[in-house]
Structure 1
């Protein structure tokens, strides 16, 4: 924000003289929108085209935050952010076909479905992608150091965001631990600063009160170069979601990362991508809000 409001970013863009500008993620797209001239598509020949990659439905995220925090203030604030993107973008991308359809509707509300854009394909779909990383970590990060060498390690990695069902997660893992002494749980990641730090606090509180708390490891945010070692030492990843539009319109970036690194996954599979992965047999499935179902899957594995 300081770079933007101070004019440094605008000056850098002018010096670079790009042929186009891409705003990545809804927040990045909103920042880029503030640097773009106010003109509808098609643009004149002198203007720089602007692609807004709206990675995840911002209004569905606003609803998820409102539900988690008990306040609807985020709905107004997020719409103000998204509206600037909708009004100024030339082309848009979404993370799923479901979100693409929602985005077309949002463009309509912003007045962009006009004679000037009739017949144009304004929204494309760019799904989550994973990058295989092979950083060498000389020593184990978990296995044989903080859990037994033969432990069955269940991994959570990434943010504890508004869509995360930490109650079902902890209760389900506890149920599995009660039946299998070999099961240990490892979490990397944490809250999202400025957006949601309540979910990680609730998770940490549930773990602190758990009768199996000694078999939970909460490592917080770790260096990116250490993540492949966590993936390598784990037996399965878990992605347990609340049933929200944010999930139905979104995707599971962390699940893609696990699969690219060869780590199996148990997921509630609420998104378009999640359903496809489960349907193709690429992930194990469990039922939203059902701790017993999660425990049963982990024990069976």
Structure 2
């Protein structure tokens, strides 16, 4: 952000930040500008509309300047804010976590009916979330189904600490357990529902991802191996030993991966039970039953 005096009131500051982002070619410049100014100025969306003449203090202006500079350098706006909303929950982010995105809400939508069905049948639903990251999927399911309990696994200690903190913030910590595990390596017991948003980008395609993703999401949460399917092989192979008789597995997939993933699960005796599409009408989640 250029040095010099900043606008001293809320509305002009918003326009200043938006213009800087637009001139830099930032996608969703208007949204990013609003989020930056709201955060820096301690303002609400309503304030931006109804009180554009509200004075901006020096510290608030400098906070906006610093945040804008980070965004112009390619850092995603939610990384700058330190949190992101997912399925109605405000979740903290950290260096070891994938930033949860709206597409993954399709996985929650696909899994939730099965969680409720298990709770109706058994009085409870035991969920295993593999590669939990921020805890987004498990926490969304726990928030929607109060009879559910979740074990959330990840190989990253940073991710597990973030997920546990998010469980505290969302009020479901008594029903949430974080476990360090490489897929099923450290998991004991059986579950009614196994969910995962695994890494599914082919290794050769990582370099082609947007800078915001490539440089700020952890590679371990993106890289699915040579064909992008390594995680699905591990999940399909390990799931039978960790599922209750009537349990299901729900996974997020990349664009066009449905046939390959369905074939991998079929080799372990699973059939497709349900699917869900994201807001862009892309097939995004598959549910398997034996």
Q: Name whichever structure is richer in strand by fraction.
A: 2
Q: TM-score, normalised by structure 1?
A: 0.33
Q: TM-score, normalised by structure 2?
A: 0.34
